[in-house]
Structure 1
Amino acid sequence: MLGLVIVADLFAVWADFLQLDVTGDLMDGVYGADVTRRADHSDNVYSLAGVAQVATLVAGVAVYLCWFYRVRVNAEVFDRSAHSKARGWAIGAWFTPVVNLWFPRRITLDIWDASTAWGARRSHGLVNAWWSLWIISLLGGRAASRSYSRAETASELHEAARMMLVADVLDAVAAVLAIAVVLGLTRMQHEKALAGSAPQPAEPGLV
């Protein structure tokens, strides 16, 4: 499903370029039947891209949250004390205003730490990169949508399309990193489960 999100984002990037091309001509004072036809085509593609993004996001969220809750439950088996949030937050954190800007990241890091192999170094680079890009693209996309809906001139539409292009590219990259997080965390839990319980320190005097 994350792969489909990436496809929808790339489709949206193409729609953004169409918008930039048409609004650029309008800003330069280029008019005519061809520009009007391209503008109508661009608006249709832009609307279709928005529908595709919403559809893949909703489907992706449903599947992702099922996986996320399962790995949260699995992580308790490895280390019950490693979690700063109750299990229910694995779902609720994503839908609670304001706290959804950082609670899911904190829960992911708790799961990541509990799932890391015994004695291995805990690196949060991948999770932090994914979450940072996801938040930036989310906020950027909302700002671009507001700018687009309020735009009244070609230059304002052009700027809104530029903002949306950046947001769509970042969202696609964030989805790629999300795939890496899903695969990495799933593999970590599988390998830790196969490794069994934590190795016990040797008793003094024994070799």
Structure 2
Amino acid sequence: MSVVWLRSPVGLGRATAVLLGAVVAGQFFSLWAGGVTYGVYDDLAAGVDVVERAEDADRLTNLAAMIQTPLLIAAVVVYLCWFWRVRVNGEVFEPGGHAKARGWVIGAWFVPVVNLWFPRRLMVDVWNASAPLGRTVSPALVNVWWAAWILWLLAGRVGAAMVRHADTAAELRRLTGMTMVTDAVEAVAGVLAILVVLRVTRMQNEKALAGAWTAALPVRMG
């Protein structure tokens, strides 16, 4: 037996949205740096002297990586804390409405193959449990977000395969273009993730304030 408590997701939800927004901003900066790099390789393939511009492009690329890495780590940690919080709340709202064990809230993202669909299933269950009493809210937003996430994973795999064969200026240009596509898809997935976070947070907050399952009382789960 374990005891779960209904706790406000608002603070974590806002922090998650802000950090995800920062990650998206970092992706746009990376896109700009990628555009500069693409132009360098384009001119290099045409035989133009690009030594100084190449150095500038390298500096921009390195700066983009320096900006993105800490932001991404912070966003992942806070997002998982938020996801755990709303999952526990979801168990309070709908004790029997979750197909996967709570531990998968964390583990599902890191287990190969499983990470292609478990996180979506977990989020859909939380979404449904968070819906207002007596109402069904379509999880279409969750589905679109997850489709973008899977597309980003696939684009990343294509880019990783291209790295092994990128030797000439033309090949490096194509690799840079693929990297830009990956960054753009990640930015879209990030925006959709923000929308999901805000929507789930709002639904849970409104449901709790409406008095669905008295928030002051713990609920025992088997």
**Aligned: 1:41 with 2:29:** no
Asked if 1:83 corresponds to 2:86, the answer is no
**Higher RCO structure (Cα 8 Å, ≥6 apart):** 2
Given that 1:145 and 1:164 are in contact with CA atoms closer than 8 Å, whether structure 2 keeps it comes out as no
Selected match of 2:47 from 29, 42, 48: 29
CA radius of gyration, larger in: 1
Structure 2 unaligned residues grouped into runs of 5+ = 1-18, 214-222
Map of 1:52 onto structure 2:
67
TM-score of the superposed pair, with normalisation by structure 1 = 0.89
1:107 to 122, 132, 136: 122
Counterpart code for 2:141: L
Structure 1 unaligned regions, length at least 5: 199-207
Are residues 85 and 179 of structure 1, via their aligned partners in 2, closer, same or farther at CA, if it must alter by over 3 Å?
same
> Contact 1:27–1:154 (CA<8 Å) still a contact in 2?
yes
TM-score, length-normalised on structure 2? 0.83
Q: Residues 125 and 135 (structure 1 numbering): CA distance in 2 closer, same or farther, change over 3 Å? A: same
Counterpart selection for 2:142 from 87, 107, 127: 127
1:112-136 C-alpha deviation (Å, 9 max, x unpaired): 0011111223211111111111221
**1:42–1:142: structure 2 CA closer, same or farther, 3 Å change rule?**
farther
Q: Deviations over 1:52-110 (max 9, x none)?
A: 22221111000000000000000001111110000111111111111111111110000
Shift of 1:47: 2.5
> What is the aligned length?
195
Which residue of structure 1 aligns with residue 186 of structure 2?
Answer: 171
Change (3 A) 1:166 1:24: same
Contact 2:159 2:178 in 1 (8 A): yes
Does the residue aligned with 2:96 lie in a helix, a strand or coil? Answer: helix
